Amino acid sequence: MITSYHFLASFLRARFGDDERGASLVEYALLVALIAVVCIAAVTLLGKNASTKFSKVGSSIA
């Protein structure tokens, strides 16, 4: 029984263990999604404040 387990484990490792392209692609996709969420949150939270500050600076210059 153990020899068949070792055979099956080594077969599966040889067949699927060396190919990590899918895992890397998923990791990069998660990183891009996280960066996008952070950027959207920053623009949403700071957008109105930055717009108000720029308006004040612009009106004080003019």
| 5-22 average pLDDT score | 67
Q: Has residue 2 been placed in a domain?
A: no
Instruction: Band the pLDDT of 15: cuts 50, 70, 90.
Output: low
Q: How many domains does the chain have?
A: 1
Is residue 47 assigned to a domain? yes
The token pair at 24 is 């890397």
pLDDT digits (tens, 9 = 90+) for 19-57: 566 667 888 899 999 999 999 998 888 888 888 888 889
Evaluate whether residue 1 is within a structural domain: no
Could you list the residue range(s) of the whole structural domain that residue 56 is in? 19-61
Give dist(CA 54, CA 57) in Å, integer: 5
